[in-house]
Structure 1
């Protein structure tokens, strides 16, 4: 692009995507009279999954708007909670977000997860086929047009990642109902049902079990239950705060 300039002001939350050398109050960039405003914003590093609205000289415009010279653009972030129309709220996470996937499943949120790197095209295709929101820190993946929907995971810390997803999408929570290993639905199980999975001490100490209806994995309130309970309690408290 080497035509007349437009001026863009980005919401503070979006500055993380803009190269440090260009992080000023107003970003000036050239237009070519053909590229859409959505394309211009993406060319500056901001995935459109993170853009809530584009406002040109005081009026909201679609991503397909073709900017003219001298326009002033305000790029807003996604409103929270974000609603994803047209399908039940379900997620798909890439290979780098395994801990977040397990924690979402712990809370009963339908969360698919790829434990191997299957590549961006396959992830985007699965997002579209299953109508799942793609969660990733890969900006290139989030720019793929075939995605059903997507969201950037801003933090590298699982605690902050989980809070961010819960605040952004406000999913319904059903703790202790999904298998953290495969996302299957849990059901009550007797000790006899899961006996061959239990060590002798566990068999002797515990009497209440659940089992995944998909992969058969057994669950009980073992040594790490207090840590898991704390994650659940924080998530429920956060949702209660939002009303």
Structure 2
């Protein structure tokens, strides 16, 4: 490349993304003299969605800074709780995060999710159009420039995924107010109003119901309620 050489160091939270030989501290990197610092950071493996303050010789700079010979660059992790431009705070999850989507909806968080893979370009366009934060474990997807905002999901375990997202974005929690199937809002419903949607055993066994205003799916405190309540109670205890 034969361009300016810089000294760069990544925060420990970002070591997951960089090569092993860059995790010990400050290392040297060669640039081409025209690429921005944002491009350099991503070329070394770190999605900009995970980057907080970028510092050059101790002073903060933007992602558009073009590195010069001998600069000492520090790459910090995103600050938590993270502030996202635009309101309200809404999310979009990729096809591999179905369980997380249902748990976030259970807590009343506005989450768009497609059970089939609609492709990276369509997800990025949806994020930009609806101003939703895209959550994904696909680093390539998070590098797409048209995203409104994005975040890497660090764990493959739903409990840890949920804690990570709640801790990072601090969304307002309103449990039991959103349909876990379609993301619509729930309203109280009488047994009579949903009777045609219930099996006989359910109609005989339960008296308190809610119904989705979008897909009309009925909800009641059935056999899985205790397990779902544990998810809700744990989230409220830590983040409510």
Normalised to the residue count of structure 1, the TM-score between the two structures is: 0.96
How far apart, CA to CA, are the structure 1 residues paired with 2:5 and 2:155? 33
How far apart, CA to CA, are the structure 1 residues paired with 2:2 and 2:235? 49
How far apart, CA to CA, are the structure 1 residues paired with 2:127 and 2:37? 25
Which secondary structure does the structure 1 equivalent of 2:15 belong to? Answer: helix
Q: CA RMSD in A?
A: 1.0
In structure 2, the residue matched to 1:134 is 134
How far apart, CA to CA, are the structure 1 residues paired with 2:134 and 2:146? 11
In structure 2, the residue matched to 1:124 is 124
Structure 1 residue 8 corresponds to structure 2 residue 3: no
Where does structure 2 lack aligned partners over 5 or more consecutive residues? Answer: none
Shift of 1:196: 2.2
Q: Is the 2:128–2:148 Cα contact (8 Å) retained in structure 1?
A: yes
Shift of 1:17: 0.6
In structure 2, the residue matched to 1:167 is 167
In structure 2, the residue matched to 1:149 is 149
In structure 1, the residue matched to 2:230 is 230
Q: Is the 2:37–2:65 Cα contact (8 Å) retained in structure 1?
A: yes
Superposed, which structure 2 residues align to 1:110-121 within 5 Å?
110-121=110-121
Shift of 1:109: 0.3
In structure 2, the residue matched to 1:100 is 100
Structure 1 residue 216 corresponds to structure 2 residue 185: no
How far apart, CA to CA, are the structure 1 residues paired with 2:77 and 2:24? 17
How far apart, CA to CA, are the structure 2 residues paired with 1:221 and 1:27? 56
How many aligned positions are there? 240
How far apart, CA to CA, are the structure 2 residues paired with 1:216 and 1:73? 54
Which secondary structure does the structure 1 equivalent of 2:121 belong to? Answer: helix
Shift of 1:27: 2.8
Superposed, which structure 2 residues align to 1:67-106 within 5 Å?
67-106=67-106
How far apart, CA to CA, are the structure 1 residues paired with 2:200 and 2:114? 33
Shift of 1:21: 4.3
Q: Is the 2:12–2:23 Cα contact (8 Å) retained in structure 1?
A: no
How far apart, CA to CA, are the structure 2 residues paired with 1:43 and 1:237? 40
Deviation per residue, 1:150-175 (Å, 9 max, x gap):
00000000000000000000000010
In structure 2, the residue matched to 1:199 is 199
Which secondary structure does the structure 2 equivalent of 1:55 belong to? Answer: strand
In structure 2, the residue matched to 1:34 is 34
How far apart, CA to CA, are the structure 2 residues paired with 1:28 and 1:222? 59
How far apart, CA to CA, are the structure 1 residues paired with 2:105 and 2:210? 15
Q: Is the 2:9–2:22 Cα contact (8 Å) retained in structure 1?
A: no
Superposed, which structure 2 residues align to 1:51-66 within 5 Å?
51-66=51-66
Mean Cα deviation higher: 82-91 or 177-186: 82-91
How far apart, CA to CA, are the structure 1 residues paired with 2:34 and 2:134? 29
In structure 2, the residue matched to 1:184 is 184
